[in-house]
Amino acid sequence: MGGFSVGGGVDCDVLVIGGGIVGLSTAHALSRLAPGTRVVVLEKETGPARHQTGRNSGVIHSGIYYRPGSLKARFAVSGAAEMVKFCAEHGIAHEVTGKLIVATGRDELPRLHALVQRGRENGIPVRELGPAQISEYEPEVRGLAAIHVGTTGIVDYGRVTAQLAESSGAEIVYGGAVDLISRRPSAVAVRTTSGLVVRARVLVNCAGLQCDRIARLAGDEPGMRIIPFRGEYYDLARPGLVRGLVYPVPDPAFPFLGVHLTRGIGGGVHVGPNAVPALAREGYDWSTVRPRDIGTELSWPGSWRMAARHWRYGAGEIRRSLSKQAFTQAVRRLLPAVTAADLRPAAAGVRAQAVLRDGTLVDDFLIQDAPRTVHVLNAPSPAATASLPIGREIAARALRTLTSA
C-alpha cells in the first residue's frame, strides 16, 4: 500500500511507526476494535518484516517458559492458538508440530522439572519423557530426560505480517525513516527522511531495534536502551536427522533459549541461534559496524553492568560465533550425529533486547504510555507468536488515548 506523495502531508487518527509484525498487528487490531479509525503505518524499509519478524526461527511458541501472570505468558499462550486460527483462515502454511525440551546433563534436571510445573501453571499440556521415550520422537537426539510440548508449531511470520498488512486497511508508507517528532497538546507531527509529514492524534512506537530512539525523539526518556544481540543460524545439510523441534533446557538467568533445532515449513532444519553482541543495531554479521550504535551502547550504564554480571556467558557465545567447531560441540550435546560439515551458514537475525540502567535484561514485554503516545519498548520472542493479543493491547491503549484526548 502507499499513495502519499513525497514532501506532502497527511492527517490521521493513529500513526504507527514500524512495519514488523507487532506494528501491523496493532494496525489490524485498530481496524477491528474501532472501524473507521484512520491509521497510517510508517516503515523505513521498502517492505514489511525486514528485521526481527522476518529473521527469526518461525516458531509458534507455547508459552511454557514464561513467568505465570506475565505479559509473555498470557499473550503467548492465547497468541499461539490465535496464530494457528489466523493462518488457517487465511491459507497461510503452518503446522502444530510439538517440540522436545531436552536435558543433557544432571544439573539441568531441576530446571526441566521447574519447566513442567511452569507449563502446568500456564495451562499448557506437557508430557515428561525418559531416554527411551525421547527416541520415539527423535531417534537421533540423546538426553537424560525431556518434556514434550504439544502446542508448539511453525509458520512463516513474513507471510503472516504481509496478511496483517493487507487486512488492516491501514495506509502503509515504506522507504522513509522517522527523523523528527513534534508532540503538541492536540496532536503529534512526524517527519520522515523522504520528506513526508504525518499528523496524528495518537502515536504508537513499534520501531523494534530503534524503539528507544523513537521514544527519545518524541521527548520521552524510556529508562532503557536497546542492546542488539545477533542470533546466528546454520542450516542442517542432513535434515533427516531431525523430525521436528528440539530445544535445550534454557538458563533462567537469560531471556535466550539456547541453540535449538527447528524443522521449518519448507522442510529444512535451522540450527541456532546463539546470542552475541552485535556491532550495529542491524548488524547481521561481524563486518557490519555502526559507530553511533556502539557509542549508544557504551554510554549506557546498563551495558557495563550487564557485561560485568554476565561476561562468562557472553564469552561462551562469542566463542561459538567465531568457532564453528565450538558451535558444533554445542549442537552435539543434543544431536551427537552432527558434524561441522553438516552445518551450512544461514541468514542471521538481531534481537532488540531492552536493558535497564542497572544492567537488568528486561524479561517481559514492556509497553509504556506517554502523552498522546504508546511506546513498545521490549517485544522480542515470543512477540511474533503473541502478536495478535499484543496488537489488541496496544490498540486498546491507543484508543483510550484517542477517546480521552
pLDDT of residue 405: 63
Q: pTM, whole model, 2 decimals?
A: 0.94
Residues 52 and 167 in one domain: yes
Containing structural domain, residue 126? 99-134+143-150
* Whole-angstrom distance, CA of residue 104 vs CA of residue 248: 8
Residues 35 and 80 in one domain: yes
Instruction: Decide if 3 is inside a domain.
Output: no
Residues 380 and 275 in one domain: no
Kindly state the average pLDDT of the residues 382-398: 98
The band of 1, judged by pLDDT with boundaries at 50, 70 and 90, is very low
In the predicted model, what is the mean pLDDT of the chain? 94
pLDDT digits (tens, 9 = 90+) for 40-95: 999 999 999 999 999 999 999 999 999 999 999 999 999 999 999 999 999 999 99
Q: Give the whole-number percent of the chain exceeding pLDDT 70.
A: 98
The Cα-based distances of 118 to 65, 111, 144 in angstroms read: 7, 10, 20
In the block, which residue shows the cell 513474513?
A: 158
DSSP state of 267: S
Kindly state the average pLDDT of the residues 331-343: 96
pLDDT of residue 5: 38
CATH number of the domain enclosing 275:
3.30.9
Kindly state the average pLDDT of the residues 276-295: 96
Residues 178 and 265 in one domain: no
Residues 75 and 191 in one domain: yes
Residues 340 and 235 in one domain: yes
Instruction: Decide if 1 is inside a domain.
Output: no
Residues 235 and 328 in one domain: yes
Q: Are strands 153-155 and 94-96 parallel, antiparallel or unpaired?
A: antiparallel
Kindly state the average pLDDT of the residues 364-373: 97
User: Does residue 253 have a pLDDT over 90?
Assistant: no
| Cα–Cα nearest to 282, from 232, 346, 350, 215 | 350
Instruction: Confirm if 333 and 248 have CB atoms less than 8 A apart.
Output: yes
Residues 197 and 240 in one domain: no
3-state secondary structure of 162: helix
